[in-house]
Amino acid sequence: MQSTTRIRGAVVAALLGLLAAVSGPGSAQAADPAEAAGTTVGDLTGFTADGPVYRLSAGAAKVRVSFVSEETFRIELAPDGTFEDPAGDAIVLPQGAPPRTRWKERSDRYDLSTGDVTLRAYKSPLRFALYRADGSQVWSEAKGLSWDGEKTTQTLARGADEQFYGAGMQNGRGNTSHRDKTVEVGVDYDWNDGGHPNSVPFYLSSAGYGVFRNTFAPGTYAFTDPVTTTEQERRFDAYYFAGDSAKDVIGRYTELTGKPFMPPVYGLEMGDSDCYLHNANRGERRTLDALKVADGYVEHDMPNGWMLVNDGYGCGYEDLAATAEGLKDRDMELGLWTEDGIEKIADQVKAGQRVAKLDVAWVGEGYKFALDGCKDAYKGIEDNSDARGFTYAPESWSGAQRCGVQWSGDQYGTWDYIRWQIPTYAGATMSGLAYTTGDVDGIFGGSAKTYTRDLQWKMFLGTTMTMDGWAASDKQPFRYGEPYTSVNRDYLKLKESLLPYQYSYAHEATKTGVGMVRPLVLEYPDDPKAATDAAKYEFMSGEDFLVAPVYRDSTERDGIYLPKGTWTDYWSGRTYEGPVTVDDYSAPLDTLPLFVRAGAAVPMWPGIRSYKDRTAASPLAWDVYPQGRSSFTLYEDDGVTRQHRDGAYATQRADVRAPAAGAGDVTVNIGASEGKFTGKQSRRPYEFSVHTGSAPSAVKLKGTLPRLDSAAAYASAKQGWWYDRDDRGGVVKIRTAPLSTDQEFSVKLENTSAVGGRRAAANATLSAPQGQEIGAGAAGTVAVDVTAGTADVTDAEVSLDVPEGWRATPAATVDRIAAGTTRRVEVRVTPPKDAKAGEARITALTRYRSAGESRTALQRIAAAVMPAPPTGEAWASDLEWLTSVNGYGPAERDRSNGESGASDGHPLTLAGKVYEKGIGTHADSDIEVYLGGRCSKFTADAGIDDEINGYGEVAFSVEADGKVLWTSPKVTGASATVPVDVPLDGARHVRLKVTDTNGSKTGDHGDWGAARFVCS
């Protein structure tokens, strides 16, 4: 079956197939027959100097070297002696006065120098090399610039350990080194793994330099030995940046091409996109119906900052002003998709539009046209309102970082989609793209579980949205029911509380060019594993959060690499000393593997659904992980207008002083808020969560604060502190009365410790075996493993926090667990009879004593509630499916797969025989049922449904408890029906799988006709 993706792709191809041919002047010049095999620049024949500009000749070829700053310069080559500049001023911004330069002729070269670098121009043949002022080499050409009738190439020698990054958004790549790899730079409209939307003709090297090719032509960068970088044009134009670090190089590149824009604060909130008027996939609706969806966010207490109301081909809009006003009433802003261009943007913005999403359908004239669209849409918002420009683009170019968010296009919601997106966005930061993202769970396919897992980690990207109307059902975070709705709400609210942190990094990006989402190698360049696959599927969100998303259908995460330093599990408070690789990390559905760097001081807005919930009396909270000396500078402005560009903003610095490890005092100093803006709080209360792991003897703020004895007392107090030993290993919670923001103050925690406690190594840890199952309404046990640290554990009491309606009985106290050993403790639990099958949210907690202190350890664990097993002869389509993954739309009960919606298939038909009972799927499909060891065999007729008319190629398989019991031969649409008769021998879990075998997934409608289990 031809999917919507392929149909849409065909439209795009028809519109944009000639893109490369129109990418800009310089790419379509007629080739000189003599250049067909390629020409390399020859010996130097002429040299002239004119201030910071130097002109060199090599026969007919001309080269121009221009210095922009002490560390930045430009090399241009005109093979025929005539310089061209097709990019003009579209990408490169006006720069300041050029630096003072000097030159000197030597026997074999000319040295062109600033105070920081020297560019050597060797004479025979003409070849360049860059050196620092101390004489160390930065890079050198292995041979001179070369060209033929269609392209130009630079060839650089590669260092023994040199690593390479950049080239824009490279799907599935980028946060680890490009060494020994070839990347394409250009628009290919491949939005899947291996594609390269939002390409950028810029790369940087661990040797301390970066290169930007000033062009709109596509390129190929091969980071082999030697390194060859080629653009599809018969000219050469490149800027070079020298720096002491990758951050320096990114900063200099974005100084040239533009610093990332400062989004409005609602741009950092979740966004929602759909078509309402003329929606072919959803039936006729009106634009004002978007307000009903907005109400869903409010009713489910879920943050959402903006909505696109016309996101679909052929979708129009009406009642724009009323829709915008209605969204504002719900604390959201109006966005529009620019399918028809931006000619109407002035009127749309005046009606209330504040977000513009660009699309490939009207940027077909080339990369410059796409970049101009980004700039013009951004400008259209600013020219017609007091708001900040805010755009989204799926295909862009260098310079787009100054006007929009880049998103990776239209994808399917799958586990693999989550996997390859992780390195994509962190890697894009290495090209100065500060805001990159993808639709939550894609726009096609997807499931409740992949949606929730995808949303979790995307809350740490800065910008993200969900898109509806293309999958079988809409994709708002409240559509899937429990437990998914609650988990999604928790993460949306966590992101909302982190807005001060993320907004401060947005401001930092406007100064440094470095986005918040970072590969580990950017923060830990000297770590040998940071550039490797060991860190490929994780990233830093700012300097303080390490995020390691779950990208498989699993409740564990392996291979989490933590670099040097102390890291705290955000959920349990357990500390790790890096460098270390964490395996078997317990990650039930509600748990994103998330670690906080010791020394972090994270500003937060607690308890809000929208940034608009903030009032003059709202508190500012600081989440502190004390270790040594550290600081964080909070940035604040009005969040929506452009007044910050004229200096209307404020900064406030938190400085933390703590022991490097173990016992001691902890001081948090909050500096005066410097600066002013409309709406700035003159006074506000402060809250602190200080993760010490050991209770202080006193907390002082201009005198001793009162100590409170319970969570309830703390919640009702205007000022005071409470040591919550059960919160993540022990957290000191402090609340102040309103304080002037213009005056600094200090909070001192006496006789406490750095993060981890006075003796962190003596802390016990909790874990739990995988695969624990509990029957609904049946008494059972949940096993918890308690492992002692370097000291004995005594008086250990293990309890479980279980879902509402469950009964849990704390286990008997364990008198002693010897240091370094593990004791398994079983806790009795009983779910209610009507407990929903699936994963339960359970947290294990143990209170104990060790090394002379009362301590607490906790751990989220995975346990599954099982439905009642079948009896007698049970149809597979009548059973509850524990999991149901399907290649296109939902798997169908007693019908064929059909289209993208539920129950839209036809009667199951194989080789002319119609089946009343069975399952209709589309490869790749995986359906899991629970049998509880009660069934002896499975029977069915397997084949590709007749509705495909002979297409398709798949294989069927039956798995039980992780073992493959039966696999069919390859089955095509023309194959005979395959009988299935598989002994189950008391299997507990059975999976019915249909797998594509030829890579096309066209027509792969696999049916399990008359599928049934024979049970006792």
Q: Left if phi > 0, otherwise alpha if psi is -120 to 50, otherwise beta: which for 44?
A: beta
Q: What is the pLDDT of residues 587-607, one digit of tens each?
A: 999 999 999 999 999 999 999
If you average pLDDT over residues 516-532, what whole number do you get?
Answer: 97
Q: What is the pLDDT of residues 720-739, one digit of tens each?
A: 999 999 999 999 999 999 99
| pLDDT of 453 above 90 | yes
> How much is the pLDDT for 535?
97
> How much is the pLDDT for 314?
83
| pLDDT of 24 above 90 | no
> How much is the pLDDT for 914?
98
State the average pLDDT for the chain.
Answer: 93
Residues 757, 752, 689: CA angle, nearest 5 degrees: 80
User: What is the C-alpha R_g of the chain?
Assistant: 31
Residue 15 burial (10 A CB sphere; 0-12, 13-18, 19+): middle
Helix (H) or strand (E) holding 897: none
User: 378 and 389 in contact (C-beta within 8 Å)?
Assistant: yes
CA distances for 379 relative to 256, 324, 342, 382, 390, angstroms: 20, 20, 11, 5, 9
At 469, is the pLDDT very low, low, confident or very high (cuts 50, 70, 90)? confident
Taking the CA atoms of 184, 189, 191 and 192 in sequence, report the sign of the dihedral they define.
Answer: negative
> How much is the pLDDT for 366?
61
Q: What percent of the chain has pLDDT above 70?
A: 95
At 4, is the pLDDT very low, low, confident or very high (cuts 50, 70, 90)? very low
> How much is the pLDDT for 338?
85
Quote the CA–CA distance of 18 and 15 in Å, as a whole number: 8
3-state helix, strand, coil in the chain (%, to 5): 15, 40, 45
> How much is the pLDDT for 370?
82
If you average pLDDT over residues 903-928, what whole number do you get?
Answer: 95
> How much is the pLDDT for 16?
34
Q: What is the pLDDT of residues 294-352, one digit of tens each?
A: 999 999 999 999 999 998 888 899 999 999 999 999 999 999 998 777 889 999 999 99
Q: What is the pLDDT of residues 794-814, one digit of tens each?
A: 999 999 999 999 999 989 999
Among the listed residues 110, 116, 111, the one whose alpha carbon sits nearest the alpha carbon of residue 134: 116
Looking only at Cα atoms, what is the longest distance across the chain? 95
At 1, is the pLDDT very low, low, confident or very high (cuts 50, 70, 90)? very low
Q: What is the pLDDT of residues 929-965, one digit of tens each?
A: 999 999 999 999 999 999 999 889 999 999 999 999 9
> How much is the pLDDT for 281?
77
Quote the CA–CA distance of 927 and 944 in Å, as a whole number: 17
> How much is the pLDDT for 267?
98
| For helices 499-512 and 484-497, angle between their N-to-C axes, nearest 10 degrees | 50
Residues with Cβ < 8 Å from 283, sequence gap 6 or more? Answer: none
At 365, is the pLDDT very low, low, confident or very high (cuts 50, 70, 90)? low
| pLDDT of 7 above 50 | no
| pLDDT of 780 above 80 | yes
Helix (H) or strand (E) holding 992: strand 989-996
Q: What is the pLDDT of residues 968-1012, one digit of tens each?
A: 999 999 999 999 999 998 899 999 999 999 988 888 999 999 999
Q: What percent of the chain has pLDDT above 90?
A: 86
Q: What is the pLDDT of residues 552-565, one digit of tens each?
A: 999 999 999 999 99
Quote the CA–CA distance of 832 and 860 in Å, as a whole number: 21
Report strand pairing: 271-273 vs 465-467: parallel
User: 552 and 422 in contact (C-beta within 8 Å)?
Assistant: no
> How much is the pLDDT for 696?
98
Q: What is the pLDDT of residues 266-289, one digit of tens each?
A: 999 999 999 999 887 787 899 999
Q: Taking the model in full, what pTM does it have?
A: 0.91
If you average pLDDT over residues 6-16, what whole number do you get?
Answer: 33
> How much is the pLDDT for 362?
46
Q: What is the pLDDT of residues 160-190, one digit of tens each?
A: 999 999 999 999 999 999 999 999 998 787 8
Q: What is the pLDDT of residues 42-96, one digit of tens each?
A: 999 999 999 899 999 999 999 999 999 999 999 999 999 999 999 999 999 999 9
Quote the CA–CA distance of 945 and 103 in Å, as a whole number: 77
Q: How far is CA 316 from the centre of its chain?
A: 31
| pLDDT of 367 above 80 | no
If you average pLDDT over residues 226-241, what whole number do you get?
Answer: 97
Helix locations, 300-335, DSSP H: 320-329
**Amino acid found at 537:** Y
Neighbours of 240 (CB within 10 A): 23
Q: What is the pLDDT of residues 875-914, one digit of tens each?
A: 999 999 998 989 888 899 999 998 767 778 899 999 999 9
Quote the CA–CA distance of 452 and 61 in Å, as a whole number: 58
At 5, is the pLDDT very low, low, confident or very high (cuts 50, 70, 90)? very low
Report the SS3 class of residue 790: coil
User: 977 and 1008 in contact (C-beta within 8 Å)?
Assistant: no
